[in-house]
Structure 1
Amino acid sequence: VEQLQAYGPDYAFIALHGRGGEDGAMQGLLETMGIPYSGSGVMASALAMDKYRCKLLWQSIGLPTPEFALVMGSDNLGHAESLLPAFVKPSMEGSSVGVARVDRREDLEAACERAGEHKGPVLVEAFIDGPEFTVGILNDQALPVIRIEAEGEFYDYEAKYLSDNTRYSIPCGLTSIKEQELQAVALTAFETLGCSGWGRVDFMQDQQGRFWLLEVNTIPGMTDHSLMPMAAADAGLSFDELVIEILKAADVR
């Protein structure tokens, strides 16, 4: 706070992930200091970080998201067992931190306990067998869809930030109609949470070709492995131009 006060920036480009940076806390601080900032506002940032409430909201308006259960301690394990195979994840974390795939009932409780170490409830989400896709959002426009193929079981923290073996495909391999359909659902999911400026929406596609919403990232990665700069480049934007476009929305706020 003292550094922000001393520096007195015209804008803040938020590139923080997880608690404190992506959950509305930093956004609230910057608002109280009168500093325009990139990305979604306080409420939308907090809501997008809460995977459970995101899914409840999407379900309420008919958007497809995998079946799920919220686990707190040993409560609701019975429902969670009925979803196996499933992913177990902290309900309020980012960057795939604490995520594990569970196939057997005897492994579920331990996986929930590990995910619970990140504080807060645990989300158990039914496994969707198929490819993963992501849609970048920039100032109310959907960017080209990217198909993700991780070397391991799923697109985890290592695959996102460390591995050189994760494969990204643009064009994504979908028909133009399917790609437009996915982009439209991504925009609806993003706007329903009140998100603005920029972000990324993640999906799985099942064996029947149906798409399932996983989550919205209000502060996507901006590394050399990251998806947002990749999608922007395919749309004709350099990295510097992408940053400028993101900051333009901060000016509107």
Structure 2
Amino acid sequence: MHVAVLMGGWSAEREVSLTSGAGVADALERKGYRVTRIDMGRDVAARLAEAAPDVVFNALHGTPGEDGSVQGMMDLMGLKYTHSGMVTSVIAIDKVLTKQALVPYGIPMPGGLIVKSETLYQRDPLERPYVLKPVNEGSSVGVAIVTSEGNYGNPIGRDVNGPWQEFDELLAEPFIRGRELTVAVLDDRALGVTELQPKSGFYDYDAKYTDGLTTHICPAQIPEDISDAMMGYALKAHRVLGCKGASRSDFRWDDQKGVEGIFLLEINTQPGMTPLSLVPEQAKHAGISYDDLVDRIVREAL
């Protein structure tokens, strides 16, 4: 069986994707697959056609590998590939479309509104504290928490570094106090709940991918009804959006409000597969080795 592992690309998450892809490729070789490693460039279609694999393991993160673009290309080429298809990917990468798809099914998500970055230099779109984030980036790329202490100025300073300098529009959401938790779904089964405790600040890109900056508690030490509710929401989100392979749903939980304090922040259709990644960690706790996890994702794609 010949598997092409697609990794790298040119998104802000390139380095993470390369690490995920290398781990996946090594695992597939240990499982006896023939593997072609492809660091995605603009010639990706030609390279995939030349490789002619039985299936593509999509280890890309961010755009265009996670937003439906690469999925649509592979659909047109008649290639089988891992993880979610084009329509699911288009919706899940967009935080506004995800809210529109999931909230009607009873999945709680924070309210929010799209703001022009220019307007932030005149006034706050919401009462502080609030969160600003790009509409279609993953891994907490470009996320800023604007607090009442005015950590970016009050109003936000035009010359202060932040996502307002990189993106014309941002999603503003109320800040939800409490705890950061995540749930992986594999083969239509929620694997468990992990709590993430950054040693400083919040669970941003550096905290996710730098060893030692975040403590993972797996399984999370939370009440059973909270755990059950989160796993239920994650599984429902996976099904409503039509996710395939593995997905990971990220939550905030205000532990002063019980089940009513649970909010789904986003769903990741191509979660990381690095040594620090959460899906392999939850799979291991569920008795599934890294190599078996990769193998199962490939077999579902076939």
- TM-score, normalised via structure 1 length: 0.91
Q: CA deviation at 1:73?
A: 4.1
User: Aligned pair 1:156/2:200, yes or no?
Assistant: no
**Which residue, out of 77, 86, 110, partners 1:33?**
77
CA contact (8 A) 1:133 1:145 kept: yes
- Which residue of structure 1 aligns with residue 131 of structure 2? 87
Residues 184, 78 of structure 1: CA spacing in aligned structure 2 closer, same or farther, 3 A cutoff?
farther
Q: Equivalents in 2 of 1:110, 1:53: separation in Å?
A: 29
Q: Which residue pairs with 1:235 in the alignment?
A: 286
**Corresponding residue number in structure 2 for 1:197:** 245
1:36-75 alignment to 2 at 5 Å?
A: 36-74=80-118
Instruction: Answer yes or no: is 1:115 the counterpart of 2:163.
Output: yes
| Deviations 1:77-127 (CA, angstroms, capped at 9, x unpaired) | 999632421111110111111111111472447599942555463111111
Out of 221, 245, 257, which is 1:208 matched to? 257
- Structure 1 position 38, deviation (Å): 0.6
Question: In structure 1, how many angstroms separate the alpha carbons of the residues matched to 2:285 and 2:76?
Answer: 37
- CA change 1:111–1:176 in 2 (3 A) is farther
**Structure 1 residues 172-181 or 225-234, which shifts more?**
172-181
Tell me whether 1:221 sits opposite 2:272 in the alignment: yes
Task: State how far apart, in whole Å, the 2-side matches of 1:57 and 1:115 are.
Answer: 25
- Quick one: distance in 2 between partners of 1:54 and 1:77? 28
- CA shift, 1:31, in A, is 1.2
Give the CA deviation at 1:62: 2.9
Aligned-pair identity in percent equals 38
- The Cα shift of 1:74 comes to 4.2
CA–CA distance in 2 between the matches of 1:201 and 1:109?
A: 33
Name the counterpart of 1:246. Answer: 297
TM superposition shift of 1:52: 1.3
Other-structure match for 2:15: none
Unaligned regions of 5+ residues in structure 2, if any? 1-44
Q: CA–CA distance in 1 between the matches of 2:243 and 2:169?
A: 23
Unaligned segments of structure 1, at least 5 residues: none
RMSD of aligned C-alpha atoms? 2.3
Number of positions where the alignment pairs a residue of Structure 1 with one of Structure 2: 251
Greater C-alpha radius of gyration: 2
